[in-house]
A and B are shown apart, each in its own frame.
Chain A
Amino acid sequence: MSTPAISVRGLRKSFGATPVLDGIDLDVARGESLVIVGGSGTGKSVLLRCILGLMRADAGTIRLDGQDATGGAPEAFLRRFGMLFQGGALFDSLPVWRNVAFRLLHDGMPPNEARARAVAALAAVGLSGRVADLYPAELSGGMQKRAALARAIAARPSVLFFDEPTAGLDPILATVINRLIREQVTALGATAVTITHDLTTVRMVADRVALLHDGRLRWTGPVSAFETSDDPHVAQFITGRADGPIATLR
């Protein structure tokens, strides 16, 4: 088996006395699409931030493309990487197209070519060319999210992180986005890690699913086994019952 794109061992992170991640072991193979589910506030976003070194983990090792990345993601990895942040994180001092084409422009692509690529990426997330010259503050929440998604994929990265890509979108657009993410993996061969609460996204995007609960990955398996699993955490997550091992007070 080739080295996994992402490999995490014994990852721990606490804020003050509260442990959020309590020994995470995770491998994501090249060209695989992993979907992470779990209750709100269980540490899914923190996990992604720790993997990238945007937040320093308390313990554990992280390897990206086989290289040690415990002190932060190496430059070579980031050059082929794209991320959709949960809040979008568009640069509000730049018009939308410069946001989307950010990496292309900084790699020295001529502006008109970069702009054309940006407009194409915007179209892929269902945003018309009219949006290109607006500023992020002039977009609705869902439009910002989609523009940020366009930014993540515009340079055709080989590793992608998506933090709740369909949150706040209508079901039709959600389908467009889910297809787009799947296409990155199937057609372009990218490795993807997607965080979601949306079972449709799980079904459409995942090769493998991991459920985060109480600081650990309680269940990991192929998507085909997810919905038929008799694990009580998974079952409760799928049915959305309030009673079960996943407490509602957190």
Chain B
Amino acid sequence: MIRLLARIGAPALGLLAVTGRLAIFTARTLSHLARPPFHGRELGRALFQIGWLSLPVVGFTALFTGGALALQIYAGSDRFGAQEAVPQIVAIGMVRELGPVLVGLMVAARVTSSIAAEIATMKVTEQIDALVTLSTHPLKYLVLPRVLAATLVVPALVAVGDVIGIMGGWIVATERLGYVSGPYLRSSLDFLERVDWISSLVKGGVFGFLCALLGCWFGMTSGRGAMGVGRATKGAVVAAAIAILAANLLLTEAFFAA
């Protein structure tokens, strides 16, 4: 019995300790928002890397998923003779859930991994120490710009993903399923409410924040050598993906639970 408790207790305590350290890390990072100097050049670089360069990945992911969603929902709704609901369901599915989650996961794959690997490499090659000796705070110079950029730009990526996803559904619906273009689009867009869009963007912001924060955290706490970098990168991507899915559940609950 005691052994069982110990076996559950140790990892639980470990998780609690890590959560505490991550919270302190987050608070320390954000405290630099109020303290100049600001590294605008780094912020610009991060916005470009995270936002602009993620567009192709986000576009393709949303396009294919929107298309598949339309096919699938058509096949399902056919059983009830409810085909006229296809545009609405595709639109809602994309904007409320799939858009933010897929964009978040793609950002985790593309951005979290590269942030973690870059910062971990800087750590093992003493570049972080060099920053300190050059009177530059690593949280201010490395972490804050990335976290800020991701939080600001991932909502925009999600909006792009939502729209392209609906387009993907529309292309499949009009080319394959015989829907008429104008009415399909109109019923997609008319059906969506303001709260759908807001939830989508808020999810984007939260997921972007998590992606960058976890990438930085795993990078900064990386072990030594190439193995340390590999482990940090893997850990960051897994943690970001799980954090996104968990946060998504909480946010959906907050926005839409009746």
Interface residue? B84 (CB, 8 A):
no
**Are A83 and B127 neighbours in the complex by a CB distance under 8 Å?**
no
**Are A78 and B130 neighbours in the complex by a CB distance under 8 Å?**
no
Cβ of B63 to closest chain A Cβ, rounded Å: 32
B contact residues, range: 10 to 19
Scan residues 100-143 of chain B and give those whose CB is less than 8 A from a CB of chain A. Answer: 118, 122, 125-127, 129-136
**Are A89 and B135 neighbours in the complex by a CB distance under 8 Å?**
no
Interface residue? B182 (CB, 8 A):
no
**Cα separation A249 to B4 with both chains bound (whole Å):** 46
**Are B126 and A87 neighbours in the complex by a CB distance under 8 Å?**
yes
Interface residue? B178 (CB, 8 A):
no
Give B137's nearest chain A residue, CB to CB.
A75
**Cα separation A103 to B136 with both chains bound (whole Å):** 8
Count of inter-chain pairs, beta carbons less than 8 A: 46
Classify the interface of chain B: helix, strand, loop or mixed. Answer: helix
Which single member of A52, A103, A106, A151 contacts B37 (CB below 8 Å)? A106
Binary flags per residue of A142-184, CB closer than 8 Å to B gives 1, else 0: 0000000001000000000000000000000000000000000
Interface residue? A135 (CB, 8 A):
no
Which single member of A52, A90, A92 contacts B133 (CB below 8 Å)? A52
**Are B129 and A49 neighbours in the complex by a CB distance under 8 Å?**
yes
Interface residue? A226 (CB, 8 A):
no
Binary flags per residue of A78-97, CB closer than 8 Å to B gives 1, else 0: 11011101110111110000
**Are A106 and B127 neighbours in the complex by a CB distance under 8 Å?**
no
Interface on B for A, CB 8 Å cutoff? 37, 118, 122, 125-127, 129-136
For the complex with contacts A81-B133, A85-B129, A103-B135, 15 further pairs of A-B residues with Cβ separation under 8 Å are: A49-B129, A52-B132, A54-B132, A75-B135, A78-B133, A85-B126, A85-B130, A87-B126, A90-B127, A90-B130, A91-B127, A93-B118, A106-B134, A106-B135, A106-B136
CB-based closest 4 A-B pairs: A89-B126, A89-B130, A83-B133, A54-B129
